[in-house]
Structures are given as structure tokens and as C-alpha cells.
Amino acid sequence: MLKINRRFIQIFIGFFWILDGFLQLQSKMFTSSFARLVILPMAQGQPSWVSNIIHIFARLVLTHPAVYDLLFASIQIIIGLLFMIPKSVKAGIILSIIWGTLVWVVGEGFGGVFSGQALLLMGAPGAALLYLIMGLSSWPKKCTAPAYWLAICWLVFWVGGGVYQLLPGQNTIPSVDSMIKVSATDAPSWLSVTDNSIISTLNSLGDVTGFSGVMNMAPQQHKESLKGYIFILIFAGTQIFIGVGVLKPGLMRRLAVSLGIVLSLGFWVVGQGLGDLSSGLATDLNSGPIFVLLGIAVLSASELDVRLNKIGSRLEVLLLGRDTNNQEISANNILIPSEKL
């Protein structure tokens, strides 16, 4: 099984930042297309306060598109170079947290989290947030293994992805189809063929898959459409299993994380169009490759089981009022020493 350390993560995150910087230097990025076709679409379907933030930033970029684009590219390349040099990696991590937060807010619209339209299939929760998290997890310390808390992030992302998959607007076959079609629009011909094949397969499951649609349709349509409804449930359930499975040591964790890595690669191809690199407006590779790195890091975290046991013991004390030996404990006697996470 592949094992990685913090330095490995630093190098890969540095590479991603440098690549993003060079993507920012594409000719279209120096025009108003960057603000109109990359930034402003992130405001669609967002709460008003998120939409306002994105519009303000887009208007700022439109004042001098080339100047701002060159500035953005330079910042990202500098962050990447700082990650590559061991002596400057801490500065790179700090700068990546600041810049990554800004990009996640105004460039990715908080990954769509507040719009209710955040699917792992389409790149949620956003590459910038994942850069930030992976960079922070690689902070240099004596223990070179990846940070154990990456498993908690993995749990939140995948369980959250499963829950969002069941929300209105993305819990039907037609809604998933439409999202994949958008991805296929600007994709190379060979990738469009793959996307269209997936779309055809999904359409064969039935046109209406919402629960109310299944229950109210004619009997002859019920069977076909029920397939689609079951598919959505399995699809969401698989994502939740991938998240929850990380809590169980041994084979279960390896199975869940491995399945998550494979599914992430599938999402990267089908829903994320390999980062839409051929469009001339791609700003990053999207979240698929970072999820792969996150999964490998989780399996490489040597302190994970010990930390999870401690967290579980503390939760049992706080919630049940007893220790791991089922001995009753008074709430006044609970003393939990502070530890560095």
C-alpha cells in the first residue's frame, strides 16, 4: 500500500499551485472573459450575500483584467515555489491559506455549499478549499506522517456529498444528466463520447426519479422510474459509506478510501471534464486529483487510530457520562487535557 509523508504532500500541492498559476496565464484569462465566464457564473443560484461578494470582485477585475490576471498568476506561482523549498514551506502554507480562502469565496462561490447545489460529482467543495486543507495538513513537524484530522475532513466531505445528492434539484436522473451535459459541452470529442454514454445509461433508468414522481406515476411507468430512484439512493449511500467507512480500522477503511479514490477519478473524468483544460479558461484541475491525494494521505496517517480512540472515549464520557469501562462518571469530574490537534 502506497504511503506518503508531509513532504510528499508539500511537493504535490506546490505543483498544483504552480500549474494553476500557468493556467492563469492563458490568453483568454487576460480579457474580460475571465470575469464574465469564470467568476460571475459562480454567483448563480447563490444567496444574495454570496452573490454580492462575487459581483463586487468581478467588477473589480473588469476594471483592469490583464493586470489582475497577471497578479493572480504571480501569487499562485509564488505559493507553489514556496511549497517546493523546505525552508520556505511554512510561509507557503500561510500564504496559501489566505489566498485559498479568497479564491474559494469569490472564485468558487464557497464551493456551492450555501446554494444547496454542491455535488462531489461536479467538483464540490472546491479545489481551493482542498488546497488549503492539504497544505495545512503538511505543516512541518517531527511526525512526518500526514495529519490524522484529514480523516475527519474525508468523513465530512463524503457524508456531506451524499446528503447534498439527496437534496431537491440534484436527486433525480434528469438533474444529474443536465449537469453532466454541461460538462460535456466544451469537452474534447473523445471525452464527450464518454459523457454521452453515461448520460444514455442514466436515461435508460427512467425520466422521473423523485420519490413523489415515482409514487404518482402510472403503474406501467412505475417499474422503470423506480430504477432511477433506487440508483440515486445507492449513489448517495455509496458516498456516505465512503465517508463513514474511514472510522473503522483495517479492511473497512481501506475499502472505503479506495472506493472513494476510484469514484473521485470517475467524477474527475465525467462530471469535472478533467478540469476543462481544453477550454482556455480552466483555473485548476478541479477537485478530483486532490481527493485522490487526500485519500492516500488518510491511509498514511499513522496516528489515526490512536486519535480516533481518544476522540471516541471523550465523546462517550461527555454524552453517556461513563468511561470506556462503563463506569459512571460525574460531569463535575470530567477533566480533558488540552492537546495539539
User: What are the phi and psi torsion angles at 330 (to 5°)?
Assistant: -70, 140
Per the structure, the count of domains in the chain is 1
Burial class of residue 339 in the structure, from the number of CB atoms within 10 Å of its CB (0-12 exposed, 13-18 middle, 19+ buried): exposed
Cis peptide before 41 (omega within 30 of 0): no
**Do residues 140 and 89 touch, judged by C-beta distance below 8 A?**
yes
Report the alpha-carbon distance of residue 114 to residue 224 in Å, rounded. Answer: 33
Report the alpha-carbon distance of residue 104 to residue 14 in Å, rounded. Answer: 17
Measuring CA to CA, which residue among 224, 250, 238 is closest to residue 305? 250
Is 334 domain-assigned? Answer: no
Q: Is 17 helix (H, G, I), strand (E, B) or coil?
A: helix
Total residues belonging to the chain:
341
pTM over 0.85: yes
Measuring CA to CA, which residue among 267, 291, 299, 296 is closest to residue 16? 291
Cβ density class 83-117: b for 16+ within 10 Å, e for less = bbeeeebeebbebbbebbeebbbbbbbbbbbebeb
CA angle 289, 295, 298 (to 5 degrees): 145
Report the alpha-carbon distance of residue 58 to residue 38 in Å, rounded. Answer: 9
According to the model, what pLDDT value does residue 321 have? Answer: 66
Is 253 domain-assigned? Answer: yes
- For the CA atoms of the chain, what is the radius of gyration? 22
According to the model, what pLDDT value does residue 245 have? Answer: 96
End-to-end Cα distance, the chain: 26
Is 310 domain-assigned? Answer: no
According to the model, what pLDDT value does residue 207 have? Answer: 54
According to the model, what pLDDT value does residue 334 have? Answer: 42
Is 233 domain-assigned? Answer: yes
According to the model, what pLDDT value does residue 340 have? Answer: 46
Q: What cell does 141 get?
A: 513537524
**Do residues 91 and 82 touch, judged by C-beta distance below 8 A?**
yes
Please give the residue range of the domain that contains residue 95: 6-302
Report the alpha-carbon distance of residue 184 to residue 197 in Å, rounded. Answer: 11
341 residues of the chain, pLDDT tens digit each: 688 999 999 999 999 999 999 999 999 999 999 999 999 999 999 999 999 999 999 999 999 999 999 999 999 999 999 999 999 999 999 999 999 999 999 999 999 999 988 899 999 999 999 999 999 999 999 989 999 999 999 999 999 999 999 998 888 888 888 888 877 777 777 788 888 888 888 877 765 444 444 445 445 555 556 777 888 999 999 999 999 999 999 999 999 999 999 999 999 999 999 999 988 999 999 999 999 999 999 999 988 888 888 877 776 677 776 554 555 444 444 444 444 44
User: What are the phi and psi torsion angles at 307 (to 5°)?
Assistant: -65, -40
Is 308 domain-assigned? Answer: no
According to the model, what pLDDT value does residue 91 have? Answer: 98
According to the model, what pLDDT value does residue 225 have? Answer: 61
According to the model, what pLDDT value does residue 192 have? Answer: 82
Is 221 domain-assigned? Answer: yes
